[in-house]
Amino acid sequence: MAFFVVAVMVVIGVAVCGKPASKPVDQKPDPVFGITIPAGYRDWKLISVAHEAGNLNDLRAVLGNDLAIRAYRDRKAPFPDGAIIARLAWAYVPSEENNKVFGRAQSFVTGSPTNIQFMVKDAKRYAATGGWGFAQFEDGEPAAAAVGRSCYACHQPVEDRDFVFTKYAP
Amino acid sequence: MAFFVVAVMVVIGVAVCGKPASKPVDQKPDPVFGITIPAGYRDWKLISVAHEAGNLNDLRAVLGNDLAIRAYRDRKAPFPDGAIIARLAWAYVPSEENNKVFGRAQSFVTGSPTNIQFMVKDAKRYAATGGWGFAQFEDGEPAAAAVGRSCYACHQPVEDRDFVFTKYAP
């Protein structure tokens, strides 16, 4: 879940935009790792979901491409080259419609997309950062270099899980 | 999100079990609509995610089979026969690991699975309930008949969206 340090999130703010986060593939790559938005990521399989409160205040889904999902299910670490993990996030919004049905204020749903993040495994290319490249996009645009540069340090506490925080939700 | 009335959820409680919710296919069908757990539902594409607070206290993901996803994307209502929408849910659990990285208590992740629910479209077979059959399973076992019987009434407020609460998260 905590793909990127909150300090960076505060600096860059959380872009809540009206447009879909899933954009065509011909994108500017991120300035640190050269990652572009992977084609078809919105259709990838679900790893897990989460809620970040505080400044992020989002609901998020973590998806994986087939290589990533297979590694999760086989409980194999490290992840193989080519594995990609995507973190989608949306504003955390109360649902008046749902609350009416439940008869109480308890329901929170997804609002506008905030940003999307990717971890791309390439043991050689990204050897200096645990074999992972990191990228964040807001409304299709890559985040500033400072964002990507901050990722690896925060992922080090979970080195024994190949630097991946999110666990597979059965 | 509000696939089933909260009153029923309170009556039946929220079964928080340690075992995965995704079970083999040879299941007992639910007692009202005759629905079994669809094969491969855990690999379906993501529609959206949500958090229900209160007694449910869960994080949830709503997935759709290909027919359901296509109908969402084409913004076609009603959904075609064969469309199935799955609601997975897990206990809403604070993540100490993530909080340490973020430097504050803000992170909530999935714990044990609670139950899974399905809406299955068959306009003829389920004509009496808006063309949808409803089912809930806890640890692979279908819920009592009272659960399935309660669903349709609560879904009526969103008849104009073919009785489906969850909107597609871009």
ipTM given for this complex: 0.84
Predicted TM-score of the model (pTM): 0.85
Tell me the mean pLDDT in the region A57-66: 98
User: Choosing among B22, B66, B110, B168, which should be mutated to test the A contact, i.e. which has the most A CBs within 10 A?
Assistant: B110
CB contact under 8 A, B2 and A107: yes
> How far away is chain A from the Cα of B57, in angstroms, using its nearest Cα?
9
Tell me the mean pLDDT in the region B65-94: 95
The string of DSSP letters for A5-27 reads -HHHHHHH-----SS-S---S--
Distance CA A98, CA A95 (A): 5
For chain A, what is the mean pLDDT? 88
> How far away is chain B from the Cα of A160, in angstroms, using its nearest Cα?
13
Tell me the mean pLDDT in the region B21-49: 87
Which of A9-18, A27-36, A76-85, B22-31 bottoms out in mean pLDDT, i.e. has the lowest? Answer: A9-18
Tell me the mean pLDDT in the region B67-84: 93
At B164, is the secondary structure helix, strand, or coil? coil
Distance CA A78, CA B27 (A): 35
> How far away is chain B from the Cα of A126, in angstroms, using its nearest Cα?
22
Confidence bin at B26 (pLDDT 50/70/90):
low
User: Which has the closest alpha carbon to A45: B61, B39, B117, B137?
Assistant: B61
Distance CA B70, CA A166 (A): 28
pLDDT at A97 over 70: yes
B18 in contact with A, Cβ within 8 Å: no
Tell me the mean pLDDT in the region A3-18: 37
For chain B, what is the mean pLDDT? 88
B17 in contact with A, Cβ within 8 Å: no
**A 65-104: CB under 8 A from B:** 88, 90, 92, 95, 97-98, 100-104
Question: pLDDT tens for residues A112-167?
Answer: 999 999 999 999 999 999 999 999 999 999 999 999 999 999 999 999 999 999 99
Higher pLDDT, B21 or B74: B74
pLDDT at A12 over 80: no
Cβ of B10: how many Cβ atoms within 10 Å? Answer: 12
Which of B21-30, B64-73, B84-93, B107-116 bottoms out in mean pLDDT, i.e. has the lowest? Answer: B21-30
Residue B75: its pLDDT value, please? 85
Give contacts of B140 with chain A, Cβ < 8 Å: none
Rounded to 10 degrees, the C-alpha dihedral B14/B98/A132/A112 comes to: 70
Pairing of strands A84-94, A132-138: unpaired
pLDDT at B27 over 80: no
Confidence bin at A26 (pLDDT 50/70/90):
low
Radius of gyration of chain B (CA): 16
Give contacts of A22 with chain B, Cβ < 8 Å: 170
Q: Do you find a cis peptide bond into B157, omega within 30 degrees of 0?
A: no
Q: CA dist B138 to A73, B77, B123, B149, Å?
A: 22, 30, 26, 16
Give contacts of B90 with chain A, Cβ < 8 Å: 49, 169
Tell me the mean pLDDT in the region B95-103: 92
Where residue B130 falls (left for φ over 0; alpha for ψ -120 to 50; beta otherwise) is left
CA-based diameter of chain B, in Å? 55
> How far away is chain B from the Cα of A35, in angstroms, using its nearest Cα?
21
